[in-house]
A = this chain, B = another copy of it.
């Protein structure tokens, strides 16, 4: 049931059986239907989501009223708005399921009490978030140094299976170009 989370945790730390029991007793499984918003702009984000199955995204609505995807999350990823979560400030983002999902949704008070009961989990979340920050830095590097076409091919090469899972227009906005331009790249008309 929660095996994928335990497997993920045990990549970084080793849990005692008693700690596993505590953790299990605090976790719950949720199902989220495709297109459901679990966070909207303006709300304070009080939940972290660990994706067991499915795909989610974090996006914004820009000044022209169109959506731009900032982040995708798939199996074994945590997704949340860390700034809103930590500062108790209204979020700038939407978080949405783009497939039917199974997730572990942990509310802040529960997570805080877990971190007190199982201090080792601090280490787990530290390593995960440091790696995420490193990945964000690489993402900015790619955005800065590659042309639209290069970003598309690079992403395709690195994540061939993932490209099939999401609508092209979401991927286009994630790579920071228009859906129309993506269509032309794919057709080889550039």
Contacts and interface: CB of A to CB of B under 8 A. Distances in A.
Interface stretch (A24-32, A141-149, A152-160): A141-149
A176 to B, nearest CB: 6
A96 interface: no
- For the complex formed by this chain, how many copies does it contain in all? 2
Interface in A119-168: 119-120, 122-123, 125-127, 129-141, 143-145
Contacts of A135: 83
Given A70-B141, A119-B119, 19 more contacts: A60-B144, A68-B145, A70-B137, A70-B144, A71-B137, A84-B134, A85-B130, A85-B134, A86-B127, A86-B130, A86-B131, A86-B134, A92-B138, A125-B130, A133-B133, A136-B136, A136-B137, A144-B173, A144-B176
For the complex of A and B, the 6 pairs showing the least CB-CB separation, nearest first, are A83-B134, A82-B134, A136-B136, A126-B126, A122-B122, A129-B129
Contacts of A122: 119, 122-123, 126
14 contacts: A62-B145, A70-B140, A81-B134, A82-B131, A82-B133, A85-B130, A93-B137, A119-B120, A125-B126, A126-B126, A129-B129, A132-B133, A143-B176, A144-B173
Interface of A: 58, 60, 62-63, 68, 70-71, 81-86, 92-93, 115, 119-120, 122-123, 125-127, 129-141, 143-145, 173, 176
A84 B134 CA distance: 8
Given A86-B134, A129-B126, A129-B130, A68 B119 contact: no
Contacts of A115: 123
A83 B141 contact: no
B144 A68 contact: yes
Which of A83, A84, A134 lies at the interface centre, i.e. has the most chain B CB atoms within 10 A of its CB?
A134
